[in-house]
Amino acid sequence: MKHFRLALALTLGTGCTAMAAFAQDASDPTGKSQQGDVSVTIYNGDTALVQDVRDLSFPRGRTRIEFPDVSSRIRPETLSFAADNTGIVEQNFDFDLLTPSKLMEKAVGETITLVRTNPATGAETRERAKVLSVAGGVVVQIGDRIEVLRDDGLPVRAVFDRVPDGLRARPTLSVTVDSGTAGRRPASIRYLTTGLGWNADYVSLYDEASGTLDMQGWVTLTNNTGTTFENAKTVLVAGDPSAGRSNYRPQPPRNQVRSIGTESADRERLADYYLYPLDARTTIANAQTKQVSFMDVQGVPARKIYARTLNWMQNDSDPVQVESRLAFSSSREGGLGDALPAGTVRFYQRDGQGTPQFIGEDAIGHTPMGSEMSLKLGDAFDISVQASVTARAKIDSEEYVRSARYRVIEDDRVRQITVERAQTFYRTTMQYRVTNAKAQPVTVDVAQAGLDRGWWSNDFRVVSESIKGEQINLDKRQWAVPVPANGETVLTVVYETRY
């Protein structure tokens, strides 16, 4: 390692600064990147594949080749090296980067120079000091005395004679290879890394008068690998390949997809994932967030939905505001016409002056084309539902059998009921009071959940309902409740159940 002086500054507390210098070589953080032809494939879930092809000169026989400017979060066990007539013998990844704290840690047991400046006169004094410890502060030995470099505001610099072995200015991969021939030829490395990720963000402008929305899709790239990838060919993969470790990611709300799509998008696929290649090469700088457009669609039919789902036998002490939602399709005909990578959809709407204003956002998972979406904007200010149990009584087996024609069973299957012994059943009357303070009439989707309590209780009945409902599944029934402007509607439903 070459000796150096006064090129890298390091603050030790407020009053002490360490300094070092180094040769302009591959370890120079200000030097040009030594990456070659870089391709980056970025997956959801904090995983990326980096492929880097560099033109290198190989001597004949065994030699060590250094690859600076690799990711500092490389997974070394995933490395693949390839060059004609060359085999890999050993690899090492130097991840101790040249930082002020690392520089001082590596100097323990070594002698450095302390430069103190008199704040009144500006005069400098220099002393040689041996670094004894950096645990909780810097302890040095100067001659026969032990001194702690205190944070007392006095200007002190530490000057190092050299960069310690194993300390790099840039993440570096070193590979020992055995070359059958000497000469210059391409060498490629391929590895997986964390710290490089992407997600989709959607910006939608909703026009309530026309019942349409315009949507732009943005890819948001985030690079925390400690390395800039220069002029990289970039491909994004929508999907969640298993990485052999916990792949947990927060899931979006379950009710954002009303029905899952069955259409194939016009995009390249890899295994069971969709590929979203960027149109042009791009530089993905370290500690940078970059956005690239991948969708721009206008005039997609959309409609507002007001909805509330209630638990079984729910009694509200006060009215509860309903959810305000936007429903639209990702289908090819009459929709967005694309598969949607997981991300966040943000909605805007123009106010009376024509200025777009934010009205809400919701998360979506990876969504096939042709799906019917229902994304939550927020809670409606003027529309509420108050649920209450107005009556609940026990009924005997004979009375329960007489209401068999009201059974709610999947696929309209009718089963013979045989009561072998006397049992107790229940008749429950639920009332849902829906109020609307808007100057326009609205329709509110009121859903009753919690009807399915297991195989022994599937035979429940809706024996009376003031508005005809729809059985969404065995657990949930829904009513479209019309509510007049500045008015209310009371929905009454009578259930007979085994619980």
Alpha-carbon distance of 163 to 223, in angstroms, equals: 28
| Each residue's pLDDT tens digit, 384-427 | 999 999 999 988 777 777 776 666 655 555 444 444 554 678 89
Given a cut of 70, whether residue 321 has pLDDT beyond it is yes
Nearest to 87 by CA among 67, 63, 66: 63
| Each residue's pLDDT tens digit, 208-263 | 999 999 999 999 999 999 889 999 999 999 887 776 554 445 555 555 777 788 88
Q: What percent of the chain has pLDDT over 90?
A: 47
Place of tokens 């289908």: 331
Beta strands in 118-211 (DSSP E): 124-133, 139-142, 145-148, 156-159, 172-179, 183-193, 196-207
3-state secondary structure of 358: strand
The residue type found at 158 is A
Q: DSSP secondary-structure letter at 330?
A: -
Architecture of the 381-497 domain: Sandwich (2.60)
β 156-159/16-20 pair status: parallel
Q: Could you tell me how far CA 234 lies from the centroid of its own chain?
A: 19
Nearest to 337 by CA among 305, 375, 374, 371: 371
Residue 364 token pair: 């979506």
Alpha-carbon distance of 175 to 172, in angstroms, equals: 10
CB-based contact 79:91 (threshold 8 Å) = yes
Given a cut of 90, whether residue 360 has pLDDT beyond it is yes
Domain ranges of the chain: 1-194, 381-497
Given 3-state DSSP classes, what are the helix, strand and coil percentages for the chain, each rounded to the nearest 5?
A: 5, 55, 40
| Each residue's pLDDT tens digit, 449-471 | 998 877 656 678 899 999 999 99
Given a cut of 50, whether residue 13 has pLDDT beyond it is no
The residue type found at 244 is G
| Each residue's pLDDT tens digit, 60-87 | 999 888 888 888 898 988 988 999 998 8
β 470-473/476-483 pair status: antiparallel
| Each residue's pLDDT tens digit, 134-180 | 887 888 899 889 988 866 666 788 888 877 766 666 777 888 889 99
Given a cut of 80, whether residue 24 has pLDDT beyond it is no
The residue type found at 94 is D
- How much is the pTM? 0.71
A 10 A CB-CB count for 339 gives 22
- What's the chain's average pLDDT? 83
Specify the range with the lowest mean pLDDT, choosing from 98-102, 289-293, 482-486. Answer: 98-102
Nearest to 263 by CA among 163, 371, 171, 159: 371
pLDDT for res 162: 78
